[in-house]
Amino acid sequence: MMEGIRNILVGVALVGRTVAIPPGSRNAFDQAIRLAKDLGARLTILHSTWVDEGFEPLDGEARTGVSPGRLDLPDEGRALLAGLASEAREHGLACELEVAQDRPWIAAIQAVLSGRADLVIVGKRDGVQGRGRRLGNVAAKLIRKCPAPLWVVKPDHDLVHKLVLAATELRAVGRLAVEYAGFVAACHAGELHVVHAFQLPPELELRSASLSEDDHAAEIDAFREERQTRLLAEMAESGIPGVPEVHVLRNEPSGAIRETVEHLHPDLLVMGSLSRCGAGFRFVGPFMGTTAERLLDRVDCSMLMLKPAEFVSPVALDAASR
């Protein structure tokens, strides 16, 4: 349950030659403050001084002639980060500032592996870049490899979650997604919607050739009703407050999620990780399929991504920055 989270880590970048906190990082920090207060959790602010070849993480712009390695943190930047920590403490939160020299996604995952973070929060890109991409490199790496829940915050969102959408495949990680979504919706007196995608079993698909159009439609309706009944029963057992609005769609999971997001325009999408499984997708694997990554790149809302209990991060606790 989300109430068990005691340590929240928020990644904060610095941008520009005059040094400032970008809107994505600022909104991620504000979200971390709100969630830490709701949960009574501790907060860690993480900033990385690592720079990759040809890319400057302090302002998110490509550079030429930049070698991979660690940068010095200017006094202005350290003062800005210290100011965020002071702001968190003014809200009554226990807060630490951590300046790491590893790549930011490695530093965040190592904090999780060492027990210093139960949930990670980062910002989305400040605007759409490169073929419609909204996810930056750090967020994409964390989605694939971070074992803890990951909240990716939309930069210009007001952080009032009036409508929260959970995606579930009726497995453990999907049930957890519904519970997390229910907690957030309840904190904001918001609406909770749940989407579930289904496809007919092979035996029903094969039998469709021998059925009339009406009989085949009746079988589809019966199967959809069975999935909806099971979904409602699971939500009743979990003790989620209120009555969620349920959407049961015959589609691939990625297609059903995108269709529902485009219809509802949620403030937050909560879901388990998608991975390739033969010709389709499932929510239980460690790596996301390319279709799923394209989906999440184009979802115009904040996202809370969960991993199944059996997920093992490919990042080692003592991973070097290479």
pLDDT the model gives residue 149: 96
Residue type, 89: R
How far apart are the C-alpha atoms of 227 and 261, rounded to whole Å?
20
Q: What is the pLDDT of residues 226-238, one digit of tens each?
A: 999 999 998 888 8
Please check whether residue 273 is in contact with residue 305, taking contact to mean a CB–CB distance below 8 angstroms: yes
pLDDT the model gives residue 212: 82
According to DSSP, residue 15 is labeled B
pLDDT band at 150 (very low <50, low <70, confident <90, very high): very high
Q: What is the pLDDT of residues 186-218, one digit of tens each?
A: 999 999 999 999 988 887 777 777 778 888 888
Among the residues of the chain, which ranges form H helices? 23-39, 75-90, 104-113, 137-145, 172-187, 202-207, 213-238, 253-264, 290-298
Domains and CATH numbers, the chain: 1-157 (3.40.50.620), 162-300 (3.40.50.620)
| CB-based burial, 182-195: b 16+ in 10 Å, e otherwise | bbbbbbbebbbbbb
How far apart are the C-alpha atoms of 163 and 177, rounded to whole Å?
15
pLDDT the model gives residue 187: 93
Average pLDDT taken over every residue of the chain: 84
Q: Is the pLDDT of residue 14 over 70?
A: yes
pLDDT band at 81 (very low <50, low <70, confident <90, very high): very high
Helical packing angle, 23-39 and 75-90, nearest 10°: 30
Q: Which residues contact 118 (CB under 8 A, 6 or more apart)?
A: 4, 5, 6, 7, 8, 41, 112, 148, 149
Backbone angles phi, psi at 285, to 5 degrees: -90, 165
pLDDT band at 31 (very low <50, low <70, confident <90, very high): very high
Q: Is the pLDDT of residue 131 over 60?
A: no
Q: Is the pLDDT of residue 273 over 90?
A: no
Q: Is the pLDDT of residue 320 over 60?
A: no
Please check whether residue 37 is in contact with residue 92, taking contact to mean a CB–CB distance below 8 angstroms: yes
Report the range of poorest mean pLDDT among 20-29, 175-184, 194-203, 278-287: 278-287
How far apart are the C-alpha atoms of 81 and 96, rounded to whole Å?
10
Give the angle 177-181-185 at the CA atoms, nearest 5°.
175
How far apart are the C-alpha atoms of 215 and 209, rounded to whole Å?
11
Q: Is the pLDDT of residue 287 over 60?
A: no
How far apart are the C-alpha atoms of 140 and 251, rounded to whole Å?
25
pTM above 0.85, yes or no: yes
One DSSP character per residue, 43-76 reads: EEEEEE-EE-TTEETTTTEE-SSPPSEEPPPPHH
Q: Is the pLDDT of residue 277 over 50?
A: no
Q: What is the pLDDT of residues 155-188, one digit of tens each?
A: 999 999 999 999 998 888 889 999 999 999 999 9
